Amino acid sequence: MKGKVCMVTGANQGMGKAASLELAKLGATVIMVCRNERSGREAQKEIKRQSGNDSVELMIADLASQQSVRSMVQDFDSKFDKLHVLVNNAGGLFADKQSLLNEDGVEMNIAVNHLGSFLLTNLLLDKLIASKSGRIVNFSSMVMSKTLNMKTYKGEETAAPMKMYGQSKLAMIMSGYALVRRLEGTGVTVNALHPGFVKTESAMKSIPKFLRPVIGLFALSPEQGTKTAIYLVTSPELEGVTGKYYVNSKEKPSVPVSYDESKQESVWSYSAKLTGLA
Q: List the interface residues with ligand NAP, window 233-262 (CB under 6 A).
A: none
Interface with ligand NAP includes 203 (CB under 6 A)? yes
User: Residue 66 or residue 131: which is nearer to ligand NAP going by CB?
Assistant: 66
Q: What are phi and psi of 123, to 5 degrees?
A: -70, -20
Active site residue 231: no
* Closest residue to ligand NAP: CB criterion: 14
**Smallest separation (angstroms) from ligand NAP to the CB of 186:** 25
Torsion of CA 81, 226, 42, 68, to 10 degrees: 50
Q: Which stretch binds ligand NAP (CB under 6 A): 51-59, 123-131, 199-207, 254-262?
A: 199-207
User: Residue 10 or residue 134: which is nearer to ligand NAP going by CB?
Assistant: 10
Residues 242 and 183 sit within 8 Å (Cβ to Cβ): yes
DSSP assignment string, 84-149: -EEEE--------GGGSB-TTS-BHHIIIIIIIHHHHHHHTHHHHHHTSS-EEEEE--TT--SS--
Which one-letter DSSP state was computed for residue 19?
Answer: H
Residue 159, CA distances (Å) to 35, 100, 156, 170 in order? 26, 11, 10, 15
**Smallest separation (angstroms) from ligand NAP to the CB of 204:** 8
Q: List the interface residues with ligand NAP, window 115-154 (CB under 6 A).
A: 139, 141
**Smallest separation (angstroms) from ligand NAP to the CB of 262:** 26
Instruction: Kindly state the greatest CA–CA separation across the chain.
Output: 51
Cα–Cα distance for residue pair 146/59, rounded to 1 Å: 35
Interface with ligand NAP includes 176 (CB under 6 A)? no
Interface with ligand NAP includes 90 (CB under 6 A)? yes
User: Residue 131 or residue 254: which is nearer to ligand NAP going by CB?
Assistant: 254
Residues 144 and 255 sit within 8 Å (Cβ to Cβ): yes
* Active-site hit among 165, 177, 231, 245: 165
User: Residue 1 or residue 203: which is nearer to ligand NAP going by CB?
Assistant: 203
- Interaction site with ligand NAP (CB under 6 A): 10, 12-16, 35-36, 39, 62-64, 89-92, 112-113, 139, 141, 194-195, 197-198, 200-203, 222
What amino acid positions are annotated as catalytic residues?
Answer: 165
